Structure 1
């Protein structure tokens, strides 16, 4: 049975020089510094494969098959997670369908409505589709879409009940169940591969969420259920940072968990998760990423990333654009993407994946098949996990 263990977001272990730096401005390899003494690293000196440029809708709109306005979630591009996954979708649409697009990166919740309204009111170019990434945009979009009934919108990761909005959501709890299943199987064994090792006597794992919301709690619910499915009497520590762009907070939370005996920490915290990876590397433990294959987008931390719970955010963006081009966008309806639709999946890390035992892989495949078949129910609320 999983148990909730309190964690403290104390940052006393962080160097005073960190200040308020955000992920995009942070740099510097850990080297041989002691745990807790270094600044947060983005994990990669170069942009990830297929990473976005700014788009060029203004210049090429007249010749494009469609013109798309992309409004990203808080944290912006180069988060090596959620926003970058969405951007890969629009980049693929540009390559496959000659789409022109422009990127907007709001830095606060009030800016969502400003950006949405500005793109909706634009006539040069006029946008065929405005794609809003992230659940925090839902309230603003409900208002703006009502004011611009002839504009087509897509929202990824939430539902907006408007006739001109196509909504795409994910069954994150299903993929997170597999992440928890993996963590539960690993923490119960004596494992020492890559830059990490387990502490099987502690039987403790952790979860770090970004903003505490019903959506992000779905990740925790699935994770806890997966740990329970793998093994009994494992303690699951959990905390929420209140932000998706706080890598220092992610570091502090994960470090606290590792010091309490956790040997695997799963994050659903966007760019804040970079700090989780750094803490795992410093403390010689393991992490599970989210949204995209973070062992690829953050190769410096690949030696501690067991796997990532991938959300096909880019697929949702690509499908919305393609349907817009075909004049077949499913506005007024919601598309749900789970394990059965390949909307979520557990992807093993590039470095550690090859050494994960076959029996562990087989067990996770089996649980996934049972979820798809409806034989294994996954809760969406952590409180529902026994």
Structure 2
């Protein structure tokens, strides 16, 4: 279920007086005395249907609905909203008795930790915890080694490039997306030291987060890198990356997707044969792991990192475009897991 920001704001105001004394999760059972979990999930910009980051979170929520005894409610963020709206959204879900509650995206971190203090019996997860830090006995942070997955697709880009020039397009210039750039460049240089990696192009600078949702921005950036000679371009730009993939595909060059396996996604159907691979970030796994821990009463606060060692990140093989270099990529993966290769997190 999606509800508008106006609904969120109005509801939050009406529930504000309830404060910590609001309805607590688990008030209703499933008929045999066992309490059914009510999961509340607040999406990042773009929401369900972005065919990237948010959809990966949605997949984890859908799996929880299928495999566990849960009901759910979803709320989407609004572009350029003030931080207070994120807090209101989380507080609304808590007051309505949802437990556990999930905030998708690093921008929720501060608000989620704050709200969690007021609802000590409710468990909270923030996906992409800012700087991989959270606090509170009822708070979990999911972090990802995006640089490691990006290293592998960077190697793929270098090995597949015919012009010897590749590019990277980031949505918003923030430390999280800098990790993607750093890993991609390092992987490309490791696989082919002579490769030329164009200067990274970031679509917007904070506090403007249009770079995660506006495909037109991705389209223009891709044109610029194609004109500069790149024949493989990796995007870490959420919904804006749809513009990158389609533009690169129109020129019959290689595009690399992000977060989800973007090969079979409808928005890029016309370019699918030119999607080399995707850097897969298993947000779905983090969401499901968290819900399952609450359901089984095994929840532990703190942070958990998803990386190559636990298949929290990786690369997609859909379409068979990297079959000929898979052995090389898997060798690099093994070296990273064995700590023979240390992947940088900063460009």
Class of the TM-score when normalised by the shorter of the 2 chains: 0.7 to 0.9
Match in the other structure for 1:10: none
Task: Tell me, yes or no, if the aligned pair for 1:109 and 1:136 is still in contact at 8 Å.
Answer: no
* Whole-angstrom CA distance in 2 between matches of 1:161 and 1:119: 20
Match in the other structure for 2:308: 339
State yes or no: 1:277 paired with 2:248: no
Task: Tell me, yes or no, if the aligned pair for 1:141 and 1:160 is still in contact at 8 Å.
Answer: no
Match in the other structure for 1:181: 155
TM-score calculated relative to the size of structure 1:
0.75
* DSSP 3-state at the match of 1:315: helix
* Whole-angstrom CA distance in 1 between matches of 2:305 and 2:67: 24
Structure 1 position 327, deviation (Å)? 1.4
Task: Tell me, yes or no, if the aligned pair for 1:181 and 1:229 is still in contact at 8 Å.
Answer: yes
- Which of these residues, 318, 327, 343, is aligned with residue 349 of structure 1? 318
* Whole-angstrom CA distance in 1 between matches of 2:322 and 2:212: 29
TM-score calculated relative to the size of structure 2:
0.84
> Structure 1 residues 62, 106: closer, same or farther in 2, change over 3 A?
farther
* Whole-angstrom CA distance in 1 between matches of 2:52 and 2:244: 13
Match in the other structure for 1:364: 329
* DSSP 3-state at the match of 2:134: coil
* Whole-angstrom CA distance in 2 between matches of 1:246 and 1:213: 17
State yes or no: 1:218 paired with 2:179: yes
Match in the other structure for 2:293: 323
- Which of these residues, 195, 203, 206, is aligned with residue 241 of structure 1? 203
Task: Tell me, yes or no, if the aligned pair for 2:249 and 2:272 is still in contact at 8 Å.
Answer: no
Task: Tell me, yes or no, if the aligned pair for 1:65 and 1:97 is still in contact at 8 Å.
Answer: no
* Whole-angstrom CA distance in 1 between matches of 2:111 and 2:67: 31
- Which of these residues, 93, 102, 110, is aligned with residue 64 of structure 2? 93
* DSSP 3-state at the match of 2:103: strand
* DSSP 3-state at the match of 1:210: strand
State yes or no: 1:165 paired with 2:154: no
Structure 1 position 61, deviation (Å)? 6.5
Structure 1 position 357, deviation (Å)? 5.3
Task: Tell me, yes or no, if the aligned pair for 2:40 and 2:93 is still in contact at 8 Å.
Answer: yes
The within-5 A match list for 1:64-213 is 65-107=36-78, 108-110=81-83, 111-122=85-96, 126-158=97-129, 159-187=133-161, 189=162, 200=163, 203-213=164-174
> Structure 1 residues 112, 375: closer, same or farther in 2, change over 3 A?
same
* Whole-angstrom CA distance in 2 between matches of 1:89 and 1:300: 27
Task: Tell me, yes or no, if the aligned pair for 2:245 and 2:255 is still in contact at 8 Å.
Answer: yes
Task: Tell me, yes or no, if the aligned pair for 1:109 and 1:137 is still in contact at 8 Å.
Answer: no
Segments of 5+ residues of structure 1 without an aligned counterpart are 1-57, 190-199
Task: Tell me, yes or no, if the aligned pair for 2:277 and 2:322 is still in contact at 8 Å.
Answer: no
Higher relative contact order (CA 8 A, sep 6+): 1
Q: Across the two proteins, how many residue pairs are aligned to each other?
A: 303
* Whole-angstrom CA distance in 2 between matches of 1:221 and 1:207: 10
Further displaced range: 230-239 or 110-119: 230-239
* Whole-angstrom CA distance in 2 between matches of 1:357 and 1:72: 34
Segments of 5+ residues of structure 2 without an aligned counterpart are 1-24, 205-210
